[in-house]
């Protein structure tokens, strides 16, 4: 198995593959020699190379764990350089633009199944990788009518073997859902962190701490995700704005009944989420 | 020591007082006989009564842990019914309106020191109380020139003995700071929970989970806090709106540099918070 990108996600795939003896060899591919060396040293991969063409040549499976703006081109390149039996999949947080680009390339389309394992954290780099990152987590596959059925079956088996629960969605439905469940919460988290001035941070407590955790995430990574999923994120912001306006109106009017009702609806949604995720926990 | 309100905060004060042998007897005062009975059964208090006048009569210290809208009247009543040497303090999340009301009553003003131990969680009731809730947490005291110095010294000693780090602030400065560090994060959390439709909650992960944790809090409690601290919360919402608009503008323009810069500023604020709270953890 070749893993393109050996950060938190790619590194965790490497560790999981090795822990589960799922691959004869795990080849890590990356641009940054220091990261590759660290990945080797940490036992995240068996081999490492900065040369994608060479890295994918003998792979049965290629998993592209690059920033979303770089995934489509890596997939196309891996499809051309890999052997014809290869399965190419990815771990990108957005799907529509990647799938569209790949499907315009017949060679790439013939080997690719788009995937999004919903797991991760605000940390980055191979040192944050863990073998159980995908255990019990949802992995969304976004096949289209053009996706080869045999590769889809293999992708399903591959992500399942890493511990994932498979969900299939249309790429657009995926992007719209994730704009709400992940991209919006990340934007809100960063906006909240930036709002609270440094001189009162000493008084901040749990609500701020948990609400801004993911604001520590990599700016580059999130810039790419927001750009790739612009329209759904803007739509999610609109929905959020409606909620915030309702709250502001009730507060301006000093309307206790409206405030109570508004909060109770939010509380109900949260409690519904908690009861759903009393099933396997999903992290991100 | 008499504790008015035996929920999460009052109950934790009872447990801490008993664990640290700080009081000969802890008397729990409340309206709800079932809660009082539960508090007794859990060993949170030594005695319980629904009669505030009787409960405070022999107390050296009275701690009012009622909803913020009910604190001032409970303080005034405790001041009239308690013995003249009593210290009355509170644990309310807002301070200006409480201090103003109490200071209009000479008897209450003579015994009262306003306090806000910054600790808590989204849970409620005596069953969620813990003896170490205040350990290492900041407790803000908001004395004014009218606050009797001897009572201030006793309040400082009392909250310190519960494990708190004491900070003194003007009531208005407290309310403005907490609007940003706590009340805004709570409002944002609820708005975020309400924004994400039930049918995609299964795809929500860590950012949503942590970002909406406090949306599970009691609607009544938060309605009171928002109403009591209306203007500072509206000002905090404005500041948040500025951040959100900046993000939206950068996203609409597809301006990667602006998105990156925006995120990096938020990330820096979060990392600054993390380095500050590598000191004793503060929960809420």
> Between residues 99 and 128 of chain B, which touch chain A (CB distance below 8 Å)?
118-121
Identify the pLDDT of residue A284.
Answer: 46
The pLDDT > 70 percentage for chain B reads 98
Give bridge partners of residue B89 from the DSSP assignment.
B63, B113
Min Cα–Cα distance to chain A from B123, Å: 12
Mutate to test the interface with A, among B177, B196, B233, B282 (most CBs of A within 10 A): B196
Model's pTM, two decimal places? 0.92
Q: How many residues does chain A have?
A: 284
Closest alpha carbon to B202 in A65, A278, A95: A278
Q: How confident is the model at residue A277 (pLDDT cuts 50, 70, 90)?
A: confident
Q: How confident is the model at residue A283 (pLDDT cuts 50, 70, 90)?
A: very low
The 8-class DSSP code of residue B164 comes to: P
- A-chain CB neighbours of B188 within 8 Å are 188, 192, 211, 244
A110's tokens:
């013939």
Cβ atoms B33, B50 nearer than 8 A? yes
Are the Cβ atoms of A214 and B211 closer than 8 angstroms?
A: yes
Task: For B226-261, write each residue's pLDDT tens digit.
Answer: 999 999 999 999 999 999 999 999 999 999 999 999
Task: For B50-67, write each residue's pLDDT tens digit.
Answer: 999 999 999 999 999 999
- B-chain CB neighbours of A276 within 8 Å are 201-202
Are the Cβ atoms of B230 and A251 closer than 8 angstroms?
A: yes
Min Cα–Cα distance to chain A from B60, Å: 29
Residue B41 CB neighbours (<10 A):
11
Min Cα–Cα distance to chain B from A16, Å: 20
Identify the pLDDT of residue A281.
Answer: 44
Identify the pLDDT of residue B284.
Answer: 46
> Between residues 192 and 231 of chain A, which touch chain B (CB distance below 8 Å)?
192-198, 200-217, 219-220, 222-223, 226-227, 230
Is it the case that residue A219 has pLDDT exceeding 60?
Answer: yes
Crossing angle of the two packed helices A230-252 and B184-195, in degrees rounded to 10: 130
Query: Nearest 5°: phi and psi at B59?
Result: -80, 140
A57/B contact by beta carbon, under 8 A: no
Closest alpha carbon to A16 in A128, A95, A131: A131
Task: For B136-177, write each residue's pLDDT tens digit.
Answer: 999 999 999 999 999 999 999 999 999 999 999 999 999 999
Identify the pLDDT of residue B280.
Answer: 46
Residue B163 CB neighbours (<10 A):
19
Min Cα–Cα distance to chain A from B252, Å: 7
Residue A55 CB neighbours (<10 A):
24
- B-chain CB neighbours of A223 within 8 Å are 256, 259-260, 263
Is it the case that residue B281 has pLDDT exceeding 80?
Answer: no
What chain A residue is nearest to B191 in terms of C-alpha separation?
A243
- A-chain CB neighbours of B213 within 8 Å are 206-207, 210, 270
> Per-residue pLDDT averaged across A210-218, rounded?
96
Cβ atoms B102, B75 nearer than 8 A? yes
Cα separation, A204 vs B196, whole angstroms: 26
What chain A residue is nearest to B231 in terms of C-alpha separation?
A252
- A-chain CB neighbours of B258 within 8 Å are none
The edge-to-edge listing of strands for the beta sheet with A138-141 is: A115-117, A138-141, A165-168
User: From residue B3, how far is each of A7, A117, A176, B51, B89 by CA, in Å?
Assistant: 52, 50, 50, 12, 10
What chain B residue is nearest to A201 in terms of C-alpha separation?
B273
Task: For A125-167, write each residue's pLDDT tens digit.
Answer: 999 999 999 999 999 999 999 999 999 999 999 999 999 999 9
Are the Cβ atoms of A226 and B118 closer than 8 angstroms?
A: no
Among B121, B243, B252, whose Cβ lies nearest the Cβ of A195? B243
Min Cα–Cα distance to chain A from B207, Å: 6
Q: How confident is the model at residue A278 (pLDDT cuts 50, 70, 90)?
A: low
What chain A residue is nearest to B284 in terms of C-alpha separation?
A206
Q: What is the DSSP string of chain A?
A: -EEE--SHHHHHHHHHHHHTT--S--EEE-S-HHHHHHHHHTTS-SEEES-HHHHHTT-SEEEE-S-HHHHHHHHHHHHHHS-TT-EEEE--S--HHHHHHHHTSHHHHTTEE-EEE----S--SGGG--TTTTTT-EEEE---TTS-HHHHHHHHHHHHHTTPEEEE--HHHHHHHHIIIIIHHHHHHHHHHHHS-GGGGGG--HHHHHHTGGGGS-HHHHHHHHHHTHHHHHHHHHHHHHHHHHHHHHHHTT-HHHHHHHHHHHHHHHHHHHHHTTSS----
Task: For A9-27, write each residue's pLDDT tens digit.
Answer: 999 999 999 999 999 999 9
B15 compared with A205, residue with greater pLDDT: B15
B188/A contact by beta carbon, under 8 A: yes
Examine the predicted complex and report whether its ipTM is higher than 0.85: yes
A153's tokens:
């079956």
Are the Cβ atoms of A208 and B273 closer than 8 angstroms?
A: yes
**Angle (CA) B268 A176 B204, round 5°:** 60
Identify the pLDDT of residue A141.
Answer: 98
User: From residue B94, how far is each of B71, B98, B176 by CA, in Å?
Assistant: 10, 8, 9
Are the Cβ atoms of A206 and B214 closer than 8 angstroms?
A: yes
B46/A contact by beta carbon, under 8 A: no
Cα separation, B146 vs B152, whole angstroms: 11
Cβ atoms A281, B231 nearer than 8 A? no
A157 compared with B283, residue with greater pLDDT: A157
Task: For B80-137, write each residue's pLDDT tens digit.
Answer: 999 999 999 999 999 999 999 999 999 999 999 999 999 988 888 999 999 999 999 9
B26's tokens:
């802890």
Are the Cβ atoms of B251 and A233 closer than 8 angstroms?
A: yes
Mean pLDDT of chain A: 95
A50/B contact by beta carbon, under 8 A: no
The SS3 call for residue B18 is helix
């Amino acid at each position: 198995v070749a893993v393109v990108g050996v950060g938190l996600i790619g590194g965790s795939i490497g560790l999981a593959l090795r822990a589960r003896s799922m691959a004869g060899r795990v080849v890590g591919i990356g641009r940054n020699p220091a990261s590759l060396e660290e990945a080797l040293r940490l036992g995240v991969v068996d081999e490492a190379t900065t040369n994608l063409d060479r890295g994918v040549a003998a792979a049965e499976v290629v998993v592209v764990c690059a920033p979303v703006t770089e995934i489509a081109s890596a997939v196309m390149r891996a499809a051309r350089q890999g052997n014809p039996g290869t399965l190419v999949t990815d771990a990108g947080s957005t799907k529509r633009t990647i799938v569209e680009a790949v499907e315009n390339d017949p060679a790439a389309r013939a080997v690719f199944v788009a995937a999004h394992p919903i797991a991760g954290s605000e940390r980055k780099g191979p040192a944050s990788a863990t073998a159980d990152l995908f255990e019990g987590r949802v992995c969304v596959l976004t096949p289209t009518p053009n996706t080869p059925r045999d590769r889809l079956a293999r992708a399903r088996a591959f992500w399942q073997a890493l511990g994932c629960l498979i969900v299939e969605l249309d790429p657009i439905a995926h992007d719209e859902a994730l704009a709400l469940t992940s991209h919006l919460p990340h934007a809100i988290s960063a906006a909240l962190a930036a709002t609270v001035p440094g001189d009162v941070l000493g008084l901040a407590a749990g609500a701020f701490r948990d609400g801004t955790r993911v604001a520590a995430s990599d700016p580059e990574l999130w810039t790419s995700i927001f750009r790739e999923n612009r329209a759904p994120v803007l739509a999610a912001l609109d929905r959020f704005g409606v909620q915030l306006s309702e709250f502001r109106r009730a507060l301006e009017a000093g309307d206790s009944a409206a405030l109570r009702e508004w909060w109770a609806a939010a509380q109900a949604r949260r409690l519904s989420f908690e009861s759903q995720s009393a099933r396997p926990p999903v992290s991100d």
